[in-house]
Structure 1
Amino acid sequence: MKNDHKSDFRKSCIKKLEFISLFSKYYKNKIIVKKLEKFIKISESKNILLYIPLGIEVDVKPLIVTLRKMKNKNVYVPFMQGDSFKIVKFRLPLYKKKFAIKEPNNSFFKPNKIDIAIVPVVGIDAINKRIGYGKGMYDRFFDRLDYKPTIIFTQLILCKSKEILSDNYDIQADNIITS
């Protein structure tokens, strides 16, 4: 029953996100990226996990460009592997993979740990747990880590349920940044 509510909520959030105008989206992206930059600067984080955005997600590409220019910052992105992903250093070119997700080539370098993980969400439930696309890749990734980085959820517009829709394995945000 809860999964039906979660699925319906996911669909309604995706629908809302798909109907944001291009101008509004551009403006919202700029606001969110500035907030993320400020948070990263204040936290003095060195190893940052970002993502290559899909159409309805916050466009963090300008943030990736900015962080890559800084000597004391390392930018990582997910690289799909099995039922989850591993993190790889961001570098060009990017290749389109499963689910139309772009990623760089595989890398064998692995950081000791990431300090901040910036994670896209479709929605969040009443206790700030992530509602994603339903594949569970981020949940599995964080479950397999032996430490907990600061987790920041990003979303163009807040889509939050008044109910608890998450399962115990769904990841929870330390911070949520939206426009």
Structure 2
Amino acid sequence: MPKRAHRAAVLARRRELTASQVVSLSLALQRRFLELPEYRSAREVVLYAPIQGEVGTAEVAAAALSAGKKLLYPAVVGDDLKFCRVTALTELKPGRFGILEPDGPGCDPAGADLVVVPGVAFDMEGRRIGYGKGYYDRSLHRLEGSGKLVAFCYDFQLLQEIVGEPHDVTMDLIVTESRVVRVNKHIREGEQQ
């Protein structure tokens, strides 16, 4: 199935979620993520501000800030993303697309231990379908295979296979409300040690 068809089908399914389902599923997913050794050992984490029924991140943000971890969020600047440190969620304000964003000096996301990425759909090999603007693809391509890129998605957003394109950024780890998929060989080897 072409990306456009996958995108339309998954977004339609996501729109069917009630507000209470979004909260419940997001909470289950975030709690699963907070138990991962990758999160526990992380000193710096990049999160996103959810829109339109995306998996929530507030629980992770609160836990990270409470644990003294550095927390970054993206902001749209031109055709790219700038990642800025925040010390409280109240620092986030509506940005270019109405998405909550920080406003401050940019930080290199390569310095983060984990970069949590939203998306419309993902597959078992870590391929991602976003909204089609390419912001995350352009900003994070150089981090592919580093073990840092984490997808948050509902179970129904995790597809068996997506036809990827060379510019698409690939995830290392996928977290849903019911499971964790370790895609990247680097992470799998680290887990076995």
**Unaligned stretches of 5+ residues in structure 1:** none
| 8 Å contact from structure 2 (residues 75, 95) kept in 1 | no
Could you say which structure has the greater relative contact order, defined with CA pairs below 8 angstroms and 6 or more residues apart?
1
Question: Which consecutive aligned stretches of 4+ in structure 1 deviate over 6 angstroms post-superposition?
Answer: none
Is residue 84 from structure 1 mapped to residue 80 from structure 2 by the alignment? yes
- Give SS of 2:21's match: helix
The one-letter code of the counterpart of 2:48 is Y
Aligned residues: 175
Quote the RMSD (CA, aligned, Å): 2.3
The residue number in structure 2 matching 1:115 is 113
The residue number in structure 1 matching 2:97 is 99
The residue number in structure 2 matching 1:32 is 29
Q: Distance in 1 between matches of 2:38 and 2:162?
A: 33
Q: Distance in 2 between matches of 1:137 and 1:21?
A: 28
Structure 1's 42 and 50: CA in aligned 2 closer, same or farther, altered over 3 A?
Answer: closer
- Segment drifting more, 102-111 vs 8-17: 102-111
The residue number in structure 2 matching 1:165 is 163
Structure 1's 86 and 177: CA in aligned 2 closer, same or farther, altered over 3 A?
Answer: same
Structure 1's 112 and 168: CA in aligned 2 closer, same or farther, altered over 3 A?
Answer: closer
| 8 Å contact from structure 1 (residues 96, 103) kept in 2 | yes
**How far off its partner does 1:149 sit?**
4.7
The residue number in structure 1 matching 2:126 is 128
- Give SS of 1:106's match: coil
| 8 Å contact from structure 1 (residues 129, 166) kept in 2 | yes
**Unaligned stretches of 5+ residues in structure 2:** 178-193
The residue number in structure 2 matching 1:53 is 50
Deviations 1:65-120 (A, max 9, x none): 1211112x111011212212121002433221122211121225557711111111
**How far off its partner does 1:163 sit?**
4.1
